[in-house]
Chain A
Amino acid sequence: MMPHFPVSSGRDIPLAAGIGLRGPHKREILDEKPAIAWLEVHSENYFGGGLPVRMLEEIRVDYPLSFHGVALSLGSCDGLSTDHLKSLKTIVDRFEPGLVSEHVSWSEVHGTHLNDLLPLPYTQEALDIVCRNIHHMQDFLGRQILVENPSTYLEYKHSTIPEADFMVEVATRTGCKLLLDVNNIFVSAQNHNLDAFDYIRKIPPALVGEIHLAGHSEIKVNSRASILIDDHGSKVKNDVWGLFEFTLQQTGRVPVLVEWDTDVPDLQTLLAEATTAQRYLDNLPARAKEKRYAA
């Protein structure tokens, strides 16, 4: 029997569009307190003390928070770092975020951290390892987590499971939810000649706890071929908005987040992206809005 974890101990994340909190915007958000439905932070930035943590305490008063990890390496065959889990638990207990999430990818092997969200081969072995690590993480934190699908530039010869099936199996086995990054699905599908809509259709709506949106760019690898790079450095592309709309029709209302990490623009530009995402949520037909509660 799978243990039942509380989804959240703190302020719930609303079924609305929020933004990723980035350094250059902190001051303005604290001073002006603009209307933003919720904020997501990279957990690892708050593992120390001092100003970052102090400022987050203040921000938390006005905004629901989500903690998004980027370095736990759920795909490590060596298991999870206890120090990392302890630091994460400390801030989760202190800030009581509405959501806690991580990536289905790997960054660490033999004690070396490569600081990239590296793709996993989708095999039974990798599935077992990822599930074991998610179980460990949820047990350690005493709560449910969400896991995000990666953007990938390469595939492994020995992969045997389509990524969407892999993600669904991970959530089904561990009781975690999925953070569906629609931009990542688009990027990976383009790079590997797959159908992004098919991917979305495979995901049971009830498993989706959050959606991510971001910009990507196209880079020439050589004179004949180019590849899409998930650089979070521009506005959400039109095709991705289209895929997002399709996704919402399946899932109904869920928390949506716009991320921007490279060439971070002024806060207004980022908030305008969130407003666009919110419009898609508001335009959902009543039936689709309710779907989430029926599921």
Chain B
Amino acid sequence: MKTTKVLALTAISTALSLSAISLAPTPVQAKEMEKCYGVVKAGHNDCANAAGTHSCAGHATTDGDAGEWLLLPKGTCDKLVGGSTEPKAKN
């Protein structure tokens, strides 16, 4: 067995010892749900409300048709600098 595996075994038996486990925090759920109710709207995607989407007619659809060659991202990306070179390698 490699030395690190020995270290790993030691770590495991320590971490799963009776005394270590009895010290581990128990999850507390109280209040969490109440807090979450407040953020229901953020990022929430109503699964299907097709019945209520009839908000457009005629030729109004062209907003998605801009030619790709005309497309330039125009949001907050000018505040995000770097990233134009190759990224740092993982580790």
Please give the residue numbers on chain A whose beta carbons come within 8 Å of chain B beta carbons, in ascending order: 23-24, 26-27, 30, 42, 44-48, 51-52, 54-55, 68, 70-71, 103, 107, 115-117, 151, 153, 219-222, 227, 229-233, 259-262
Contacts and interface: CB of A to CB of B under 8 A. Distances in A.
B32 to A, nearest CB: 11
B55 to A, nearest CB: 5
A192 to B, nearest CB: 15
B40 A115 contact: no
B39 to A, nearest CB: 9
18 contacts: A23-B40, A23-B41, A30-B37, A42-B47, A42-B51, A71-B48, A117-B51, A153-B57, A227-B57, A229-B54, A229-B55, A230-B51, A231-B52, A231-B55, A232-B51, A232-B54, A233-B52, A262-B52
A140 B53 CA distance: 29
Interface in B4-45: 33, 36-38, 40-41, 44
B49 A221 contact: no
A54 B33 contact: yes
B57 A70 contact: no
A103 B49 CA distance: 13
Contacts, number: 83
Contact of A151 (B37, B38, B54): B54
Contact of B50 (A52, A115, A227): A115
A267 to B, nearest CB: 14
B46 A219 contact: no
A22 to B, nearest CB: 8
Contact of A71 (B36, B50, B58): B50
B48 A42 contact: yes
Given A54-B33, A229-B54, A231-B55, A70 B48 contact: yes
A42 B49 contact: yes
Contacts of A71: 48, 50
A229 to B, nearest CB: 5
B53 A45 contact: no
B51 A261 contact: yes
Q: Which of A44, A103, A221, A261 has the most CB of B within 10 A?
A: A261
B33 A220 contact: no
B55 A45 contact: no
A261 B48 CA distance: 11
Contacts of A260: 52
Nearest to A46: B47
Contacts of B47: 42, 44-48
A172 B40 CA distance: 42
Contacts of A107: 50
Nearest to A69: B48
B58 A259 contact: no
